[in-house]
Structure 1
Amino acid sequence: MPKKEQFSNAYSEEDLKTTEVLDAITEALLSKKANDITVLDVSELTTLAEFFVICHGNSDVQVKALADIVEEDVLNKCSEKSWRKEGGSSRAWIILDYVNIVVHVMSEEKRNYYNIEKMWNDAKITHIKDEVN
């Protein structure tokens, strides 16, 4: 089972739901071997979202598989559908918008070029790793 840091101090029902969705997203990405899963806590920096989850795949097939498993697991575990999905046909950068959480699944080339982490360098950054007990 993956070990992760807590992402927020969940006090309200909405915070608990956001944390539950965030956990489902990161677990899904880990299950399909996403590369360099990074969670940016942007809640103090913007009203766009509370968290950005960024990762990349090794191929366009893996990028699609990562996005698909996130959608499937979040729906099954949290009963939440993405509000919006962009980039599914290109498979180079797929965005899943869960309102409070925006997931960016990218090719390594796109990730290096756009460098979202650098644009939001004031955010609290958490790197997600699959650690064995």
Structure 2
Amino acid sequence: MTITPQQLLNTAIAGAEDKKAMNIVALDLKGISLVADYFVICHGNSDTQVQAIATEVRKRAHDAGIPVRIEGMDAARWVLLDLGDVVVHIFHRDEREYYNIERLWSDAKVVENV
């Protein structure tokens, strides 16, 4: 079974929502970046919550047959999950404000109704 980038996006968002991720934003990068079709950006209020969000997104991607590469899980300040067509950025609240990657990718359209 193959999963479309949109389905993968929805899977990642559902995992983040399940662990109460805050301020989830999905950016459509098609035509802007060769890195991925979508970025999902969210944050947790503690290291434990950041790790829980990342673990749930990883589990759901794995269940869908998607290989996942992870960086930053130990420090839990900015965890990056590379799902191929979707890259998930899970920040600790303080780091999200500092890095503000939504501003860096301001040319991307925000995905509505995901």
Query: What's the TM-score, normalizing by structure 1?
Result: 0.80
Which consecutive residues of structure 1, in runs of 5 or more, have no partner in the other structure? 1-12
Query: How is 1:1-133 mapped onto 2 (pairs within 5 angstroms)?
Result: 17-76=4-63, 78-82=64-68, 84-126=69-111
Q: Show CA shifts across 1:55-105 (max 9, x none).
A: 0001000000000000011212x11121x2100110111000012111000
Task: Give, in whole Å, the separation in 1 of the partners of 2:60 and 2:54.
Answer: 10
**Whose Rg is larger?**
1
Does structure 2 conserve the Cα–Cα contact (< 8 Å) formed by 1:53 and 1:104? Answer: yes
Q: Unaligned regions of 5+ residues in structure 2, if any?
A: none
TM-score (norm 2): 0.92
**8 Å Cα contact 2:12/2:60 also seen in 1:** yes
Q: Secondary structure of 2:43's match? A: strand
- Alpha-carbon distance between aligned partners in 2 of 1:42 and 1:88, rounded to the nearest angstrom: 24
Contact persistence 2:61–2:83 (CA under 8 A): no
AA at the equivalent of 2:93: E
Paired residues of 1:36 and 1:128 also in contact (CA < 8 A): no
Q: Secondary structure at the match of 1:80?
A: coil
Between the two proteins, the alignment pairs up a number of residues equal to 114
